[in-house]
Structure 1
Protein backbone atom coordinates (compact mmCIF):
# COMPACT_ATOMS: atom_id res chain seq x y z
CA UNK A 1 0.00 0.00 0.00
CA UNK A 2 1.32 3.44 -0.94
CA UNK A 3 1.75 5.83 1.98
CA UNK A 4 0.43 9.34 1.45
CA UNK A 5 -0.20 11.53 4.50
CA UNK A 6 0.66 14.76 6.30
CA UNK A 7 1.76 14.61 9.93
CA UNK A 8 2.48 17.49 12.30
CA UNK A 9 4.59 16.87 15.41
CA UNK A 10 4.04 19.38 18.21
CA UNK A 11 7.15 20.88 19.78
CA UNK A 12 7.35 20.23 23.51
CA UNK A 13 9.95 19.39 26.16
CA UNK A 14 9.23 16.28 28.27
CA UNK A 15 11.05 15.59 31.53
CA UNK A 16 10.36 12.16 33.03
CA UNK A 17 11.63 10.89 36.38
CA UNK A 18 10.09 9.67 39.62
CA UNK A 19 10.91 11.93 42.56
CA UNK A 20 12.39 14.63 40.34
CA UNK A 21 9.45 17.02 39.83
CA UNK A 22 10.67 19.81 42.11
CA UNK A 23 14.17 19.73 40.64
CA UNK A 24 12.89 19.63 37.08
CA UNK A 25 10.47 22.49 37.71
CA UNK A 26 13.13 24.73 39.24
CA UNK A 27 15.46 24.08 36.31
CA UNK A 28 12.71 24.88 33.79
CA UNK A 29 11.72 28.11 35.54
CA UNK A 30 15.35 29.20 35.32
CA UNK A 31 15.68 28.10 31.70
CA UNK A 32 12.60 30.07 30.71
CA UNK A 33 13.74 33.14 32.66
CA UNK A 34 10.41 33.48 34.47
CA UNK A 35 10.15 35.44 37.71
CA UNK A 36 6.38 35.86 38.18
CA UNK A 37 5.01 32.34 38.42
CA UNK A 38 1.39 31.36 39.02
CA UNK A 39 0.92 27.84 40.42
CA UNK A 40 -2.50 26.34 39.67
CA UNK A 41 -3.70 23.37 41.72
CA UNK A 42 -7.05 22.36 43.16
CA UNK A 43 -7.53 22.31 46.92
CA UNK A 44 -7.17 18.52 46.77
CA UNK A 45 -3.76 18.88 45.09
CA UNK A 46 -2.44 21.73 47.27
CA UNK A 47 -0.02 19.60 49.27
CA UNK A 48 1.40 18.05 46.10
CA UNK A 49 1.75 21.48 44.48
CA UNK A 50 3.51 22.83 47.57
CA UNK A 51 5.97 19.95 47.40
CA UNK A 52 6.61 20.43 43.69
CA UNK A 53 7.14 24.18 44.21
CA UNK A 54 9.64 23.98 47.06
CA UNK A 55 12.55 25.19 44.93
CA UNK A 56 10.76 28.14 43.30
CA UNK A 57 9.02 31.26 44.65
CA UNK A 58 5.56 31.67 43.07
CA UNK A 59 3.94 35.10 43.27
CA UNK A 60 0.46 33.59 43.04
CA UNK A 61 -1.20 30.29 43.97
CA UNK A 62 -4.63 29.50 42.53
CA UNK A 63 -6.94 26.72 43.75
CA UNK A 64 -10.31 27.51 42.14
CA UNK A 65 -10.38 24.60 39.70
CA UNK A 66 -13.72 23.37 38.34
CA UNK A 67 -14.42 20.38 36.10
CA UNK A 68 -15.04 21.21 32.42
CA UNK A 69 -13.61 24.76 32.95
CA UNK A 70 -16.67 27.05 33.17
CA UNK A 71 -16.00 30.31 31.31
CA UNK A 72 -16.65 32.44 34.39
CA UNK A 73 -13.99 30.54 36.33
CA UNK A 74 -11.57 30.93 33.44
CA UNK A 75 -12.18 34.66 33.21
CA UNK A 76 -11.65 35.17 36.93
CA UNK A 77 -8.31 33.35 36.74
CA UNK A 78 -7.29 35.35 33.65
CA UNK A 79 -8.05 38.64 35.36
CA UNK A 80 -6.06 37.66 38.43
CA UNK A 81 -3.10 36.49 36.35
CA UNK A 82 -3.09 39.80 34.48
CA UNK A 83 -3.28 41.80 37.72
CA UNK A 84 -0.19 39.96 39.02
CA UNK A 85 1.68 40.28 35.69
CA UNK A 86 2.20 36.53 35.53
CA UNK A 87 4.84 35.39 33.04
CA UNK A 88 4.64 31.60 33.61
CA UNK A 89 1.81 29.22 34.53
CA UNK A 90 2.54 25.99 36.40
CA UNK A 91 -0.36 23.54 36.52
CA UNK A 92 -0.15 20.71 39.03
CA UNK A 93 -3.01 18.22 38.80
CA UNK A 94 -5.33 16.48 36.37
CA UNK A 95 -7.17 17.49 33.24
CA UNK A 96 -9.30 20.19 34.87
CA UNK A 97 -6.22 21.92 36.26
CA UNK A 98 -4.37 21.76 32.96
CA UNK A 99 -7.56 22.94 31.26
CA UNK A 100 -7.72 26.06 33.39
CA UNK A 101 -4.09 26.88 32.64
CA UNK A 102 -4.89 26.48 28.94
CA UNK A 103 -7.86 28.82 29.26
CA UNK A 104 -5.54 31.50 30.67
CA UNK A 105 -2.88 30.89 28.03
CA UNK A 106 -5.46 31.03 25.24
CA UNK A 107 -6.06 34.75 25.73
CA UNK A 108 -2.77 35.83 27.29
CA UNK A 109 -0.13 33.75 25.55
CA UNK A 110 1.57 33.07 28.90
CA UNK A 111 3.52 29.76 28.66
CA UNK A 112 2.59 26.69 30.69
CA UNK A 113 4.62 24.07 32.49
CA UNK A 114 2.33 21.12 33.18
CA UNK A 115 2.92 18.69 36.04
CA UNK A 116 0.29 15.95 35.64
CA UNK A 117 -0.94 13.89 38.58
CA UNK A 118 -3.38 11.78 36.55
CA UNK A 119 -3.37 10.04 33.16
CA UNK A 120 -5.65 12.55 31.38
CA UNK A 121 -3.11 13.50 28.70
CA UNK A 122 -4.27 17.10 28.23
CA UNK A 123 -0.75 18.25 29.01
CA UNK A 124 0.53 16.97 25.65
CA UNK A 125 -2.12 18.51 23.39
CA UNK A 126 -2.89 21.91 21.92
CA UNK A 127 -6.62 21.32 22.50
CA UNK A 128 -8.60 23.52 24.88
CA UNK A 129 -12.13 23.19 26.21
CA UNK A 130 -14.52 25.39 28.18
CA UNK A 131 -18.15 25.17 29.20
CA UNK A 132 -20.82 27.87 28.99
CA UNK A 133 -24.59 27.55 29.33
CA UNK A 134 -24.40 23.74 29.51
CA UNK A 135 -22.48 23.46 26.25
CA UNK A 136 -18.81 22.49 26.00
CA UNK A 137 -16.75 24.21 23.31
CA UNK A 138 -13.36 22.91 22.24
CA UNK A 139 -10.71 24.28 19.94
CA UNK A 140 -7.12 23.92 18.81
CA UNK A 141 -4.52 26.63 19.43
CA UNK A 142 -0.76 26.25 19.79
CA UNK A 143 -0.74 28.89 22.53
CA UNK A 144 -2.29 26.39 24.95
CA UNK A 145 0.28 23.64 24.37
CA UNK A 146 2.47 23.47 27.50
CA UNK A 147 6.09 24.26 26.66
CA UNK A 148 7.24 21.60 29.13
CA UNK A 149 5.64 18.54 30.72
CA UNK A 150 7.13 17.17 33.94
CA UNK A 151 6.16 13.57 34.63
CA UNK A 152 6.80 12.20 38.10
CA UNK A 153 5.05 8.95 38.96
CA UNK A 154 5.56 9.56 42.68
CA UNK A 155 3.02 12.39 42.42
CA UNK A 156 0.32 9.90 41.37
CA UNK A 157 0.67 7.64 44.43
CA UNK A 158 -2.12 9.51 46.22
CA UNK A 159 -4.51 8.89 43.31
CA UNK A 160 -6.83 6.05 44.45
CA UNK A 161 -6.92 2.91 42.35
CA UNK A 162 -10.48 3.52 41.13
CA UNK A 163 -9.58 7.02 39.92
CA UNK A 164 -6.34 5.73 38.42
CA UNK A 165 -8.38 3.19 36.46
CA UNK A 166 -10.86 5.75 35.18
CA UNK A 167 -8.12 8.22 34.28
CA UNK A 168 -6.04 5.54 32.55
CA UNK A 169 -9.00 4.34 30.51
CA UNK A 170 -9.60 7.99 29.56
CA UNK A 171 -6.05 7.95 28.17
CA UNK A 172 -6.78 4.69 26.37
CA UNK A 173 -9.83 6.31 24.78
CA UNK A 174 -7.47 8.90 23.25
CA UNK A 175 -5.55 6.01 21.71
CA UNK A 176 -8.57 4.19 20.33
CA UNK A 177 -10.21 7.33 18.97
CA UNK A 178 -6.92 8.31 17.29
CA UNK A 179 -7.11 5.21 15.10
CA UNK A 180 -10.18 6.48 13.23
CA UNK A 181 -10.21 10.22 13.91
CA UNK A 182 -10.34 12.66 10.97
CA UNK A 183 -6.56 13.14 10.63
CA UNK A 184 -5.31 9.71 11.60
CA UNK A 185 -2.06 8.63 9.97
CA UNK A 186 0.47 5.76 10.36
CA UNK A 187 2.60 7.72 12.84
CA UNK A 188 -0.11 8.49 15.36
CA UNK A 189 -1.57 5.01 14.81
CA UNK A 190 1.75 3.52 15.93
CA UNK A 191 1.84 5.83 18.96
CA UNK A 192 -1.75 4.90 19.83
CA UNK A 193 -1.07 1.17 19.66
CA UNK A 194 1.95 1.47 21.95
CA UNK A 195 -0.10 3.69 24.25
CA UNK A 196 -2.78 1.01 24.56
CA UNK A 197 -0.14 -1.61 25.39
CA UNK A 198 1.57 0.58 27.99
CA UNK A 199 -1.68 1.67 29.64
CA UNK A 200 -3.00 -1.88 29.74
CA UNK A 201 0.15 -3.13 31.46
CA UNK A 202 0.45 -0.08 33.70
CA UNK A 203 -3.14 -0.19 34.94
CA UNK A 204 -2.92 -3.90 35.69
CA UNK A 205 0.18 -3.22 37.76
CA UNK A 206 -1.48 -0.33 39.61
CA UNK A 207 -4.44 -2.55 40.44
CA UNK A 208 -2.13 -5.28 41.74
CA UNK A 209 0.28 -2.95 43.58
CA UNK A 210 -1.17 0.54 44.15
CA UNK A 211 1.98 1.91 45.80
CA UNK A 212 4.36 0.53 43.19
CA UNK A 213 6.01 3.09 40.91
CA UNK A 214 6.62 0.79 37.93
CA UNK A 215 2.94 0.53 36.97
CA UNK A 216 2.37 4.24 37.42
CA UNK A 217 5.39 5.07 35.27
CA UNK A 218 4.04 2.85 32.50
CA UNK A 219 0.63 4.51 32.79
CA UNK A 220 2.14 8.00 32.54
CA UNK A 221 4.20 6.93 29.53
CA UNK A 222 1.10 5.47 27.89
CA UNK A 223 -0.95 8.56 28.69
CA UNK A 224 1.65 10.77 27.03
CA UNK A 225 1.65 8.63 23.87
CA UNK A 226 -2.15 8.67 23.82
CA UNK A 227 -2.24 12.45 24.00
CA UNK A 228 0.39 12.94 21.28
CA UNK A 229 -1.58 10.64 18.98
CA UNK A 230 -4.84 12.42 19.82
CA UNK A 231 -3.33 15.87 19.23
CA UNK A 232 -2.33 14.78 15.74
CA UNK A 233 -5.39 12.75 14.76
CA UNK A 234 -8.11 15.01 16.20
CA UNK A 235 -11.38 14.22 17.94
CA UNK A 236 -13.34 11.20 16.78
CA UNK A 237 -16.76 9.84 17.66
CA UNK A 238 -15.84 8.92 21.22
CA UNK A 239 -14.63 12.36 22.23
CA UNK A 240 -17.51 14.18 20.58
CA UNK A 241 -19.97 12.10 22.60
CA UNK A 242 -18.06 12.57 25.85
CA UNK A 243 -17.80 16.34 25.38
CA UNK A 244 -21.59 16.47 25.19
CA UNK A 245 -22.06 14.22 28.22
CA UNK A 246 -19.63 16.32 30.22
CA UNK A 247 -20.60 19.80 29.06
CA UNK A 248 -24.36 19.35 28.90
CA UNK A 249 -24.94 16.90 31.75
CA UNK A 250 -21.88 17.64 33.91
CA UNK A 251 -20.84 14.00 34.09
CA UNK A 252 -17.36 13.32 35.53
CA UNK A 253 -14.75 13.44 32.79
CA UNK A 254 -12.61 10.35 33.36
CA UNK A 255 -15.45 8.02 34.36
CA UNK A 256 -17.51 9.07 31.33
CA UNK A 257 -14.64 8.27 28.97
CA UNK A 258 -14.00 4.96 30.73
CA UNK A 259 -17.65 3.94 30.33
CA UNK A 260 -18.13 5.05 26.73
CA UNK A 261 -14.91 3.47 25.43
CA UNK A 262 -16.13 -0.15 25.04
CA UNK A 263 -19.39 0.96 23.43
CA UNK A 264 -17.78 3.14 20.77
CA UNK A 265 -15.18 0.43 20.13
CA UNK A 266 -17.88 -2.23 19.72
CA UNK A 267 -19.86 0.05 17.38
CA UNK A 268 -16.92 1.04 15.16
CA UNK A 269 -14.67 -2.01 15.16
CA UNK A 270 -16.58 -4.08 12.55
CA UNK A 271 -16.13 -1.26 10.03
CA UNK A 272 -12.47 -0.56 10.87
CA UNK A 273 -10.56 -3.84 10.45
CA UNK A 274 -7.05 -2.32 10.34
CA UNK A 275 -7.62 -0.30 13.50
CA UNK A 276 -9.26 -3.30 15.16
CA UNK A 277 -6.24 -5.48 14.39
CA UNK A 278 -3.89 -2.89 15.93
CA UNK A 279 -6.00 -2.64 19.08
CA UNK A 280 -6.28 -6.41 19.42
CA UNK A 281 -2.52 -6.82 18.99
CA UNK A 282 -1.88 -4.18 21.65
CA UNK A 283 -4.05 -6.16 24.08
CA UNK A 284 -2.53 -9.47 22.97
CA UNK A 285 -5.92 -10.87 21.96
CA UNK A 286 -7.61 -11.94 18.75
CA UNK A 287 -10.51 -9.55 19.19
CA UNK A 288 -10.19 -5.92 20.36
CA UNK A 289 -13.48 -5.95 22.23
CA UNK A 290 -12.53 -9.07 24.16
CA UNK A 291 -9.17 -7.52 25.03
CA UNK A 292 -10.74 -4.36 26.38
CA UNK A 293 -13.49 -6.13 28.29
CA UNK A 294 -11.02 -8.54 29.90
CA UNK A 295 -8.96 -5.57 31.08
CA UNK A 296 -12.04 -3.72 32.35
CA UNK A 297 -13.11 -6.73 34.41
CA UNK A 298 -9.67 -7.05 35.98
CA UNK A 299 -9.65 -3.33 36.78
CA UNK A 300 -13.28 -3.24 37.99
CA UNK A 301 -13.77 -0.25 35.70
CA UNK A 302 -16.74 2.14 35.79
CA UNK A 303 -19.68 0.32 34.24
CA UNK A 304 -22.70 2.49 33.42
CA UNK A 305 -23.57 6.15 32.87
CA UNK A 306 -26.59 5.65 35.13
CA UNK A 307 -24.18 5.23 38.04
CA UNK A 308 -23.19 8.89 37.60
CA UNK A 309 -26.64 10.43 37.20
CA UNK A 310 -27.30 10.08 33.47
CA UNK A 311 -30.75 8.63 32.69
CA UNK A 312 -32.59 7.19 29.71
CA UNK A 313 -34.65 10.38 29.67
CA UNK A 314 -31.48 12.34 28.86
CA UNK A 315 -30.69 10.39 25.70
CA UNK A 316 -32.82 12.37 23.25
CA UNK A 317 -31.14 15.65 24.20
CA UNK A 318 -27.68 14.08 24.12
CA UNK A 319 -28.33 12.64 20.66
CA UNK A 320 -29.66 15.95 19.37
CA UNK A 321 -26.51 17.78 20.47
CA UNK A 322 -23.95 15.10 19.59
CA UNK A 323 -24.96 13.78 16.17
CA UNK A 324 -24.03 16.94 14.21
CA UNK A 325 -20.59 16.95 15.87
CA UNK A 326 -19.53 13.41 14.97
CA UNK A 327 -17.04 13.43 12.06
CA UNK A 328 -18.26 12.27 8.68
CA UNK A 329 -15.06 10.18 8.50
CA UNK A 330 -16.22 7.88 11.30
CA UNK A 331 -15.92 4.23 10.14
CA UNK A 332 -19.67 3.66 10.55
CA UNK A 333 -22.41 6.10 9.71
CA UNK A 334 -23.91 7.60 12.86
CA UNK A 335 -27.52 8.75 12.86
CA UNK A 336 -29.90 9.51 15.69
CA UNK A 337 -31.13 5.95 15.94
CA UNK A 338 -27.70 4.34 16.11
CA UNK A 339 -26.33 6.89 18.58
CA UNK A 340 -29.40 6.42 20.78
CA UNK A 341 -28.67 2.69 20.81
CA UNK A 342 -25.04 3.31 21.81
CA UNK A 343 -26.04 5.66 24.62
CA UNK A 344 -28.83 3.38 25.83
CA UNK A 345 -26.40 0.48 26.18
CA UNK A 346 -23.84 2.70 27.95
CA UNK A 347 -26.48 4.11 30.29
CA UNK A 348 -27.64 0.73 31.52
CA UNK A 349 -24.27 -1.06 31.28
CA UNK A 350 -25.35 -3.67 28.74
CA UNK A 351 -22.83 -5.96 27.01
CA UNK A 352 -21.20 -3.75 24.33
CA UNK A 353 -21.24 -6.64 21.83
CA UNK A 354 -24.90 -5.93 21.10
CA UNK A 355 -23.65 -2.93 19.08
CA UNK A 356 -21.37 -4.81 16.70
CA UNK A 357 -24.30 -6.00 14.56
CA UNK A 358 -26.39 -2.85 14.95
Structure 2
Protein backbone atom coordinates (compact mmCIF):
# COMPACT_ATOMS: atom_id res chain seq x y z
CA UNK A 1 0.00 0.00 0.00
CA UNK A 2 1.29 3.44 -0.92
CA UNK A 3 1.64 5.83 2.01
CA UNK A 4 1.72 9.49 0.93
CA UNK A 5 4.70 11.28 2.44
CA UNK A 6 4.21 14.34 4.66
CA UNK A 7 0.49 14.05 3.96
CA UNK A 8 -0.99 16.44 6.52
CA UNK A 9 1.99 18.77 6.47
CA UNK A 10 1.76 19.22 2.69
CA UNK A 11 -2.00 19.81 2.62
CA UNK A 12 -1.86 22.13 5.63
CA UNK A 13 0.77 24.23 3.84
CA UNK A 14 -1.13 24.19 0.54
CA UNK A 15 -4.68 25.18 1.40
CA UNK A 16 -5.33 28.73 2.58
CA UNK A 17 -8.74 29.05 0.89
CA UNK A 18 -11.37 26.32 1.01
CA UNK A 19 -13.05 27.78 -2.09
CA UNK A 20 -9.83 27.94 -4.10
CA UNK A 21 -8.63 26.14 -7.21
CA UNK A 22 -5.75 23.73 -6.58
CA UNK A 23 -3.48 21.48 -8.62
CA UNK A 24 -2.00 18.14 -7.60
CA UNK A 25 0.74 17.76 -10.19
CA UNK A 26 1.46 14.14 -9.28
CA UNK A 27 -1.72 12.23 -8.40
CA UNK A 28 0.02 8.87 -7.85
CA UNK A 29 -2.27 6.78 -5.67
CA UNK A 30 -4.33 9.81 -4.71
CA UNK A 31 -3.50 10.21 -1.02
CA UNK A 32 -2.80 13.92 -1.21
CA UNK A 33 -5.68 14.56 -3.63
CA UNK A 34 -8.23 12.87 -1.40
CA UNK A 35 -7.15 14.86 1.64
CA UNK A 36 -7.21 18.11 -0.37
CA UNK A 37 -10.78 17.37 -1.48
CA UNK A 38 -11.79 16.70 2.13
CA UNK A 39 -10.51 20.15 3.08
CA UNK A 40 -12.22 22.03 0.24
CA UNK A 41 -15.67 23.57 0.38
CA UNK A 42 -18.43 23.20 -2.20
CA UNK A 43 -16.92 25.90 -4.41
CA UNK A 44 -13.40 24.50 -4.24
CA UNK A 45 -11.80 22.68 -7.16
CA UNK A 46 -8.90 20.26 -7.62
CA UNK A 47 -7.20 19.39 -10.91
CA UNK A 48 -4.75 16.49 -10.81
CA UNK A 49 -2.12 15.37 -13.32
CA UNK A 50 -0.33 12.10 -13.86
CA UNK A 51 1.56 10.53 -16.76
CA UNK A 52 0.91 7.04 -15.41
CA UNK A 53 -2.16 5.36 -16.93
CA UNK A 54 -2.58 3.23 -13.80
CA UNK A 55 -2.78 6.38 -11.67
CA UNK A 56 -5.35 7.89 -14.02
CA UNK A 57 -7.50 4.76 -13.67
CA UNK A 58 -7.37 5.11 -9.88
CA UNK A 59 -8.27 8.79 -10.12
CA UNK A 60 -11.25 8.00 -12.36
CA UNK A 61 -12.82 6.22 -9.38
CA UNK A 62 -13.14 9.51 -7.49
CA UNK A 63 -16.75 10.59 -7.95
CA UNK A 64 -16.57 14.29 -7.12
CA UNK A 65 -17.70 17.19 -9.31
CA UNK A 66 -14.93 19.33 -7.84
CA UNK A 67 -12.25 16.98 -9.20
CA UNK A 68 -10.64 16.59 -12.64
CA UNK A 69 -7.83 14.22 -13.66
CA UNK A 70 -5.60 14.83 -16.68
CA UNK A 71 -3.49 12.11 -18.25
CA UNK A 72 -0.57 14.42 -18.77
CA UNK A 73 2.71 15.57 -17.29
CA UNK A 74 2.69 18.60 -15.05
CA UNK A 75 5.05 20.21 -17.53
CA UNK A 76 1.93 20.79 -19.67
CA UNK A 77 0.09 22.41 -16.77
CA UNK A 78 -0.43 25.78 -18.43
CA UNK A 79 -2.02 24.41 -21.61
CA UNK A 80 -4.07 21.79 -19.79
CA UNK A 81 -5.50 24.43 -17.44
CA UNK A 82 -6.25 26.70 -20.39
CA UNK A 83 -8.23 23.85 -21.95
CA UNK A 84 -10.28 23.73 -18.74
CA UNK A 85 -10.63 27.54 -18.85
CA UNK A 86 -8.67 27.92 -15.63
CA UNK A 87 -6.52 31.06 -15.68
CA UNK A 88 -5.30 31.20 -12.08
CA UNK A 89 -4.88 28.75 -9.22
CA UNK A 90 -4.52 29.09 -5.47
CA UNK A 91 -1.99 26.36 -4.89
CA UNK A 92 0.00 23.58 -6.51
CA UNK A 93 1.51 20.46 -4.97
CA UNK A 94 4.31 18.50 -6.61
CA UNK A 95 5.12 15.19 -4.91
CA UNK A 96 8.09 14.09 -7.00
CA UNK A 97 9.66 10.69 -7.54
CA UNK A 98 8.15 7.21 -7.85
CA UNK A 99 5.17 5.86 -5.92
CA UNK A 100 5.31 2.66 -3.89
CA UNK A 101 2.86 1.02 -6.29
CA UNK A 102 5.22 1.70 -9.20
CA UNK A 103 8.19 0.31 -7.28
CA UNK A 104 6.34 -2.77 -6.07
CA UNK A 105 4.87 -3.68 -9.45
CA UNK A 106 7.57 -5.78 -11.08
CA UNK A 107 6.23 -5.31 -14.60
CA UNK A 108 6.96 -1.58 -14.45
CA UNK A 109 10.71 -2.19 -14.23
CA UNK A 110 11.49 0.50 -11.66
CA UNK A 111 12.79 -1.81 -8.95
CA UNK A 112 15.95 -3.89 -8.80
CA UNK A 113 14.28 -6.10 -6.17
CA UNK A 114 11.56 -7.54 -8.42
CA UNK A 115 12.04 -9.54 -11.60
CA UNK A 116 10.42 -7.80 -14.54
CA UNK A 117 10.98 -6.24 -17.94
CA UNK A 118 13.20 -3.15 -18.01
CA UNK A 119 10.59 -0.52 -18.77
CA UNK A 120 10.87 2.42 -16.30
CA UNK A 121 8.54 4.70 -18.27
CA UNK A 122 6.09 6.75 -16.22
CA UNK A 123 3.86 6.88 -19.29
CA UNK A 124 3.82 3.39 -20.76
CA UNK A 125 1.84 4.54 -23.80
CA UNK A 126 4.81 6.23 -25.45
CA UNK A 127 8.57 6.63 -25.44
CA UNK A 128 11.62 4.40 -25.28
CA UNK A 129 11.90 1.69 -22.63
CA UNK A 130 14.93 1.34 -20.40
CA UNK A 131 15.86 -1.90 -22.19
CA UNK A 132 15.72 -0.25 -25.62
CA UNK A 133 17.83 2.65 -24.42
CA UNK A 134 20.38 0.52 -22.56
CA UNK A 135 20.98 -1.70 -25.56
CA UNK A 136 21.61 1.20 -27.94
CA UNK A 137 23.19 4.04 -25.94
CA UNK A 138 26.91 4.71 -26.34
CA UNK A 139 29.22 3.98 -23.45
CA UNK A 140 30.20 7.67 -22.89
CA UNK A 141 26.52 8.72 -22.87
CA UNK A 142 25.64 5.95 -20.45
CA UNK A 143 28.50 6.92 -18.14
CA UNK A 144 27.37 10.56 -18.21
CA UNK A 145 23.78 9.69 -17.30
CA UNK A 146 24.79 7.41 -14.43
CA UNK A 147 27.24 9.97 -13.07
CA UNK A 148 25.04 13.06 -13.44
CA UNK A 149 21.64 11.64 -12.52
CA UNK A 150 22.74 8.92 -10.12
CA UNK A 151 25.68 10.74 -8.54
CA UNK A 152 27.39 7.37 -8.79
CA UNK A 153 31.18 7.41 -8.33
CA UNK A 154 31.51 4.06 -10.12
CA UNK A 155 29.76 5.37 -13.26
CA UNK A 156 32.65 4.63 -15.62
CA UNK A 157 33.03 1.03 -14.46
CA UNK A 158 29.27 0.40 -14.49
CA UNK A 159 28.89 1.77 -18.02
CA UNK A 160 31.74 -0.45 -19.22
CA UNK A 161 30.24 -3.52 -17.56
CA UNK A 162 26.80 -2.87 -19.10
CA UNK A 163 28.26 -2.45 -22.59
CA UNK A 164 30.30 -5.63 -22.25
CA UNK A 165 27.28 -7.57 -20.92
CA UNK A 166 24.95 -6.45 -23.71
CA UNK A 167 27.53 -7.55 -26.30
CA UNK A 168 27.05 -11.10 -25.02
CA UNK A 169 23.28 -10.91 -24.51
CA UNK A 170 20.70 -8.06 -24.69
CA UNK A 171 19.80 -6.66 -21.28
CA UNK A 172 16.05 -7.03 -20.84
CA UNK A 173 15.17 -7.55 -17.16
CA UNK A 174 15.59 -5.68 -13.90
CA UNK A 175 17.43 -8.49 -12.12
CA UNK A 176 19.79 -8.87 -15.07
CA UNK A 177 20.77 -5.19 -14.85
CA UNK A 178 20.92 -5.21 -11.05
CA UNK A 179 23.33 -8.15 -11.05
CA UNK A 180 25.62 -6.47 -13.60
CA UNK A 181 25.79 -3.33 -11.45
CA UNK A 182 26.16 -5.22 -8.17
CA UNK A 183 29.17 -7.09 -9.57
CA UNK A 184 30.90 -3.73 -10.01
CA UNK A 185 29.63 -1.90 -6.91
CA UNK A 186 30.38 -4.34 -4.14
CA UNK A 187 29.46 -2.05 -1.25
CA UNK A 188 30.57 -3.41 2.10
CA UNK A 189 27.67 -1.65 3.79
CA UNK A 190 25.08 -3.54 1.73
CA UNK A 191 26.87 -6.84 2.23
CA UNK A 192 26.68 -6.21 5.99
CA UNK A 193 22.93 -5.61 5.78
CA UNK A 194 22.96 -1.93 4.79
CA UNK A 195 19.84 -0.36 3.32
CA UNK A 196 21.08 0.81 -0.08
CA UNK A 197 21.36 -1.77 -2.82
CA UNK A 198 24.42 -1.34 -5.09
CA UNK A 199 22.13 -0.71 -8.09
CA UNK A 200 20.07 2.03 -6.41
CA UNK A 201 21.84 4.98 -7.99
CA UNK A 202 22.07 3.42 -11.46
CA UNK A 203 18.35 2.60 -11.54
CA UNK A 204 17.58 6.12 -10.34
CA UNK A 205 19.76 7.65 -13.04
CA UNK A 206 18.19 5.66 -15.88
CA UNK A 207 14.66 6.41 -14.65
CA UNK A 208 15.34 10.14 -14.36
CA UNK A 209 16.88 10.26 -17.82
CA UNK A 210 14.13 8.29 -19.57
CA UNK A 211 11.33 10.34 -18.04
CA UNK A 212 13.17 13.68 -18.31
CA UNK A 213 12.30 14.30 -14.68
CA UNK A 214 14.74 17.12 -13.95
CA UNK A 215 14.10 18.91 -17.23
CA UNK A 216 10.34 18.79 -16.70
CA UNK A 217 10.67 20.00 -13.11
CA UNK A 218 12.80 22.97 -14.22
CA UNK A 219 10.24 23.89 -16.88
CA UNK A 220 7.26 23.45 -14.55
CA UNK A 221 8.31 25.56 -11.57
CA UNK A 222 8.14 28.90 -13.46
CA UNK A 223 4.70 27.93 -14.80
CA UNK A 224 3.48 27.34 -11.26
CA UNK A 225 4.50 30.82 -10.18
CA UNK A 226 2.94 32.40 -13.29
CA UNK A 227 -0.37 30.64 -12.56
CA UNK A 228 -0.57 31.32 -8.83
CA UNK A 229 -2.87 33.97 -7.43
CA UNK A 230 -1.41 36.30 -4.78
CA UNK A 231 -0.96 34.28 -1.56
CA UNK A 232 -1.16 31.07 -3.60
CA UNK A 233 1.17 28.34 -2.37
CA UNK A 234 3.78 26.21 -4.15
CA UNK A 235 4.52 23.02 -2.20
CA UNK A 236 7.17 20.61 -3.46
CA UNK A 237 8.24 17.29 -1.95
CA UNK A 238 11.58 16.00 -3.30
CA UNK A 239 13.23 12.64 -2.74
CA UNK A 240 16.83 13.14 -3.82
CA UNK A 241 19.39 15.92 -3.85
CA UNK A 242 19.15 16.63 -7.59
CA UNK A 243 15.44 17.47 -7.36
CA UNK A 244 15.77 19.36 -4.11
CA UNK A 245 18.66 21.44 -5.45
CA UNK A 246 16.54 22.61 -8.39
CA UNK A 247 13.59 23.48 -6.14
CA UNK A 248 15.71 25.24 -3.53
CA UNK A 249 17.58 27.35 -6.06
CA UNK A 250 14.41 28.27 -7.92
CA UNK A 251 12.58 29.37 -4.77
CA UNK A 252 15.57 31.34 -3.54
CA UNK A 253 15.97 33.11 -6.88
CA UNK A 254 12.27 34.02 -7.06
CA UNK A 255 12.32 35.20 -3.44
CA UNK A 256 15.56 37.18 -3.69
CA UNK A 257 15.79 38.99 -7.02
CA UNK A 258 17.08 42.10 -5.28
CA UNK A 259 20.74 41.18 -5.08
CA UNK A 260 22.58 44.31 -6.08
CA UNK A 261 24.59 44.07 -9.31
CA UNK A 262 28.24 44.98 -9.20
CA UNK A 263 27.73 47.93 -11.55
CA UNK A 264 26.52 51.08 -9.79
CA UNK A 265 24.71 53.45 -10.13
CA UNK A 266 21.64 51.62 -11.44
CA UNK A 267 19.59 52.66 -14.42
CA UNK A 268 15.80 53.02 -14.10
CA UNK A 269 15.14 49.66 -15.79
CA UNK A 270 17.56 47.89 -13.46
CA UNK A 271 15.91 49.44 -10.39
CA UNK A 272 12.49 48.24 -11.66
CA UNK A 273 13.83 44.72 -12.22
CA UNK A 274 15.03 44.58 -8.61
CA UNK A 275 11.45 44.94 -7.38
CA UNK A 276 10.19 41.84 -9.19
CA UNK A 277 10.26 39.44 -6.28
CA UNK A 278 7.52 36.87 -6.92
CA UNK A 279 7.82 34.39 -4.06
CA UNK A 280 8.21 34.43 -0.32
CA UNK A 281 9.69 31.29 1.22
CA UNK A 282 7.47 29.91 3.99
CA UNK A 283 9.32 28.32 6.90
CA UNK A 284 12.28 26.00 6.62
CA UNK A 285 12.66 22.82 4.62
CA UNK A 286 10.66 20.10 6.37
CA UNK A 287 11.56 16.42 6.68
CA UNK A 288 9.41 13.48 7.84
CA UNK A 289 9.34 12.75 11.56
CA UNK A 290 11.06 9.71 13.02
CA UNK A 291 7.59 8.23 13.58
CA UNK A 292 6.64 8.60 9.91
CA UNK A 293 9.94 7.08 8.75
CA UNK A 294 9.42 4.13 11.09
CA UNK A 295 6.03 3.46 9.47
CA UNK A 296 7.17 4.30 5.93
CA UNK A 297 10.95 3.89 5.45
CA UNK A 298 10.70 5.20 1.88
CA UNK A 299 9.93 8.62 3.35
CA UNK A 300 13.39 8.97 4.90
CA UNK A 301 14.88 11.01 2.03
CA UNK A 302 11.91 13.35 1.54
CA UNK A 303 12.27 17.13 1.80
CA UNK A 304 9.33 19.53 1.57
CA UNK A 305 9.71 23.19 0.60
CA UNK A 306 6.96 25.80 0.57
CA UNK A 307 6.76 29.23 -1.05
CA UNK A 308 3.97 31.76 -1.42
CA UNK A 309 3.17 34.03 -4.35
CA UNK A 310 3.38 37.67 -3.39
CA UNK A 311 1.70 40.70 -4.94
CA UNK A 312 3.97 42.45 -7.39
CA UNK A 313 3.76 45.60 -9.44
CA UNK A 314 4.12 44.57 -13.04
Higher RCO (C-alpha under 8 Å, 6+ residues apart): 2
Query: Which protein is bigger by CA-based radius of gyration?
Result: 2
Higher helix content, 1 or 2: 1
TM-score by length of 1: 0.27
